[in-house]
């Protein structure tokens, strides 16, 4: 067989163009409707049935069940969706991804879609170079759509001709007549292929092409489709390896859902495929099982010419043969798409009643481990893939976690103030605060790096401005953590200097701590909200005024108290250091809220 490395690279490049088209189209659509997608997910998942329809809609729009799964996981992380809601959306995503197969079946084999792809690019190019980010995103969507079908067209012409050159894959053809063993083998091949190309849609496209050219039978192709359903969940689980507990649970639920679906389908595999073939034969373009028989009895050279569309169609008999062959191709691709669709719909109808059971199982398998003094980002994960628009929510929620950590750090600092100095528990408590400070520094660095990574993507103007304010928020929260650590260091220096505070000082320091804790709690609750009310901001500024006024009052009183000899000068120094640092912490809180206010205004 004359199949060179150049031909092989053309095959890989064609697959790459198909995958790149999927990526560009998906990202373009997510940029166009990023906020709308969030709204749909949060509003339309109030019950499991609506969750399924939501998954179908989102996946049909962005043409990627993996992207939908990743997006759903981010919402689970954010607390906007429960695990049960996310499972129903993932179920719907499995049905939504069948749209890809129907698009390929309808457009990819009936007409030459590549003919329309280039003119479509001509429409996309002016949109890509416009200054309007919304129109630019539509341009990316159209360009991605064109790449998908150009890649598909190249893919059809790049796959080696197995029938004309059986020696290249003779080892596979030897295993196509093993009955149920062949089904299991090709199901495994479909799963492995999906993991390799990282896209069930791409594997589905390859399977459709192989089946429509008669290289594998309809039954074998259906088995590969089952494997693709498992393979796409393995991809999601690989993506969740470095993610948090919620992400792992959602990915595991996806895997369990698809595996259980494949198990019951294997038990009914042959009757099910016969039913699908009967439906397409009776109500569709023809019998999908005839294509394999046609290829077996027809001269390989003629089949090759029919595939490449180079046969001379002037003769009436040849023209009839060509029409018959194309009809069988369409029938086979329709049958495979119908198998994919009916299987996933039936699987959802069966499994939707066991959502709560799935939740219990995955919670049991992956228990929640709470260790707040170990550094691990909760919502941002390097293993999760999403666009810059959808990463915004992850950053917002990680910022809330960051604020909550500093809030606990301040509480620990207050505990240190009342701990017996010189004791073992005193040293351990300071070590915890020190560890929190290091975690605070690392969180700032990780979140800032993630924001930098997002800004390298093509994001909308509004999102870019929001990210700019997020940099400010993260920086100021890190300053709050520094202030907490400085307070603890001041207490350590006081202990080392053997300075004692009077009940009057202790009472005032406690009051200042209470004011700063209230301000920090208010800041955290505002960060957790989707919108900031004017009353929230007024409350924050009133608390800041209260902190400033109390600091000024204590500063003036301190001078008089030292003069009167109520306490030593060194005690007054440490006392004022604590009060001043607390007031500075309050300033950082206001800086955070100012940045949030600016972000909300954008």
pLDDT at 228: 82
Cα–Cα distance, 168 to 150 (Å, whole number): 26
506 Cβ partners below 8 Å, 6+ apart?
417
% pLDDT > 90, the chain:
20
The residue ranking higher by pLDDT, 330 or 377, is: 330
361 Cβ partners below 8 Å, 6+ apart?
256
Task: Give 163's pLDDT tier (boundaries 50, 70, 90).
Answer: very low
pLDDT, tens digit, 9 for 90 and up, residues 110-144: 445 556 778 888 888 888 888 777 788 888 888 88
- Mean pLDDT of the region 422-447: 88
Domain residue spans of the chain: 7-160+242-365, 388-601
The residue ranking higher by pLDDT, 205 or 367, is: 367
Cα–Cα distance, 527 to 540 (Å, whole number): 12
> In the chain, how many H helices and how many E strands?
23, 0
The residue ranking higher by pLDDT, 381 or 140, is: 140
112-117-119-123 Cα dihedral, nearest 10 degrees: 150
The residue ranking higher by pLDDT, 560 or 533, is: 560
Q: Which run of H or E residues covers position 281? A: helix 269-283
How would you class 367 by CB atoms within 10 Å of its CB: exposed for 0-12, middle for 13-18, buried for 19 or more?
exposed
Q: Are 505 and 513 in contact (CB under 8 A)?
A: no
Task: Give 88's pLDDT tier (boundaries 50, 70, 90).
Answer: confident
pLDDT, tens digit, 9 for 90 and up, residues 186-227: 888 888 877 776 566 667 777 777 776 667 788 888 898 888
Say whether pLDDT at 300 is over 90: no
- Mean pLDDT of the region 567-576: 92
- Mean pLDDT of the region 323-339: 80
Lowest-pLDDT choice from 5-19, 288-302, 357-371: 288-302
- Write out the DSSP string of 351-388: HGGGHHHHHHHHHHHS-----TTS---SS--TT----H
Query: What predicted TM-score, i.e. pTM, was given to this entire model?
Result: 0.55
Cα–Cα distance, 466 to 458 (Å, whole number): 14
pLDDT at 506: 94
Q: Are 108 and 117 in contact (CB under 8 A)?
A: no
pLDDT at 110: 47
**In degrees, to the nearest 5, what angle opens at C-alpha 366 toward C-alphas 360 and 371?**
125
500-505-509-514 Cα dihedral, nearest 10 degrees: 130
pLDDT, tens digit, 9 for 90 and up, residues 339-352: 888 888 998 888 88
DSSP character at residue 420: P
**Helix axes of 48-62 and 83-96: crossing angle, nearest 10 degrees:** 50
The residue ranking higher by pLDDT, 390 or 475, is: 475
Q: Are 223 and 186 in contact (CB under 8 A)?
A: yes
Cα–Cα distance, 440 to 577 (Å, whole number): 22
- Mean pLDDT of the region 416-428: 90
Task: Give 476's pLDDT tier (boundaries 50, 70, 90).
Answer: very high
pLDDT at 462: 66
The residue ranking higher by pLDDT, 314 or 283, is: 283
Residue 508 vs residues 246, 499, 511, 512: alpha-carbon distances, Å:
43, 17, 5, 6
The residue ranking higher by pLDDT, 390 or 265, is: 265
Q: Are 354 and 233 in contact (CB under 8 A)?
A: no
Q: How many CA atoms lie within 13 A of 561 on its CB side?
A: 20
pLDDT, tens digit, 9 for 90 and up, residues 545-560: 999 999 999 999 998 9
Residue 211 vs residues 13, 237, 323, 461: alpha-carbon distances, Å:
21, 29, 17, 45
pLDDT at 166: 40
Say whether pLDDT at 479 is over 90: yes
Task: Give 99's pLDDT tier (boundaries 50, 70, 90).
Answer: confident
pLDDT at 512: 95
Say whether pLDDT at 98 is over 50: yes
pLDDT at 384: 42
- Mean pLDDT of the region 61-67: 62
How would you class 204 by CB atoms within 10 Å of its CB: exposed for 0-12, middle for 13-18, buried for 19 or more?
buried
Say whether pLDDT at 180 is over 50: yes
- Write out the DSSP string of 433-463: HHHHHHHHHHHHHHHHHHHHHHHTS---HHH
- Mean pLDDT of the region 491-510: 93
pLDDT at 331: 82
pLDDT, tens digit, 9 for 90 and up, residues 11-55: 788 878 877 876 777 677 666 665 555 565 556 666 778 888 888
Q: What is the mean pLDDT of the chain?
A: 78
Cα–Cα distance, 367 to 572 (Å, whole number): 50
For the domain covering 388-601, report its CATH number. Answer: 1.20.58.220
């Amino acid at each position: 067989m004359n199949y060179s490395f150049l031909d092989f690279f053309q095959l890989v490049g064609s697959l790459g163009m198909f995958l790149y088209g999927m990526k560009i189209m998906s990202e373009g659509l997510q940029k166009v409707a990023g906020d709308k997608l969030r709204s749909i997910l949060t509003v339309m998942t109030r019950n499991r049935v609506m969750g399924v329809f939501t998954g179908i809609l989102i996946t049909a729009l962005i043409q990627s069940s993996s992207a939908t799964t990743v997006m759903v996981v981010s919402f689970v992380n954010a607390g906007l969706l429960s695990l049960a809601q996310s499972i129903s959306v993932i179920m719907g995503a499995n049905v939504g991804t069948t749209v890809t197969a129907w698009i390929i079946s309808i457009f990819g084999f009936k007409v030459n879609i590549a003919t329309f792809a280039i003119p479509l690019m001509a429409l996309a190019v002016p949109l890509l170079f416009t200054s309007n980010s919304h129109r630019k995103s539509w341009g990316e969507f159209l360009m991605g759509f064109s790449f998908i079908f150009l890649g598909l067209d190249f893919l059809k012409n790049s796959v080696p001709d197995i029938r004309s050159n059986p020696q290249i894959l003779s080892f596979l053809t030897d295993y196509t007549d093993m009955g149920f063993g062949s089904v299991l083998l090709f199901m495994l091949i479909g799963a492995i292929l999906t993991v390799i190309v990282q896209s069930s849609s791409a594997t589905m496209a390859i399977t459709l092409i192989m089946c429509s050219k008669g290289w594998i039978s309809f039954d074998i192709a259906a088995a590969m489709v089952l494997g693709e359903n498992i393979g796409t969940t393995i991809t999601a689980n690989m993506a969740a390896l470095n993610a948090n507990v919620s992400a792992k649970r959602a990915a595991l639920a996806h895997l369990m859902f698809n595996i259980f679906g494949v198990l019951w389908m294997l038990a009914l595999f042959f009757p099910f495929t016969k039913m699908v073939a009967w439906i397409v034969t009776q109500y569709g373009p023809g019998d999908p099982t005839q294509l394999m028989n046609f290829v077996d009895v027809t001269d390989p050279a003629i089949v090759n010419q029919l595939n490449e569309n180079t046969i001379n169609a002037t003769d009436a008999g040849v023209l009839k043969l060509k029409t018959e062959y194309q009809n069988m191709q369409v029938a086979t691709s329709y049958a495979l798409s119908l198998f994919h669709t009916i299987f996933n719909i039936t699987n959802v109808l069966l499994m939707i009643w066991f959502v709560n059971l799935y939740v219990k199982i995955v919670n049991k398998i992956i228990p929640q481990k709470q260790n707040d003094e170990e550094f691990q980002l909760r919502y941002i994960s390097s293993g999760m893939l999403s666009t810059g628009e959808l990463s915004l929510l992850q950053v917002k929620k990680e910022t809330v976690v960051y604020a909550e950590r500093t809030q606990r750090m301040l509480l620990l600092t207050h505990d240190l103030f009342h701990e017996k100095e010189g004791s073992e528990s005193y040293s351990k408590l300071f070590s915890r605060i020190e560890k929190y400070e290091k975690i605070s520094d690392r969180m700032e660095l990780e979140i800032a790096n993630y924001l930098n990574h997002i800004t390298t993507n093509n994001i909308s103007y509004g999102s870019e401005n929001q990210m700019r304010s997020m940099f400010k928020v993260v920086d100021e929260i890190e300053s709050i953590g520094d202030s907490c650590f400085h307070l603890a260091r001041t207490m350590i220096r006081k202990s080392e200097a053997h300075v004692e505070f009077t009940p009057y000082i202790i009472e005032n320091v406690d009051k200042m701590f209470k004011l700063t804790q209230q301000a920090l709690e208010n800041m955290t609750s505002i960060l957790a909200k989707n919108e900031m009310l004017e009353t929230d901001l007024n409350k924050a500024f009133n608390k800041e005024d209260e902190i400033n006024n109390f600091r000024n009052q204590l500063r003036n009183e301190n001078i008089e108290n030292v003069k009167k000899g109520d306490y030593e000068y060194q005690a007054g120094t440490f006392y004022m250091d604590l009060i001043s640092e607390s007031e500075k912490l309050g300033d950082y809180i206001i800086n955070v809220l100012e940045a949030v206010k600016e972000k909300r205004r954008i």
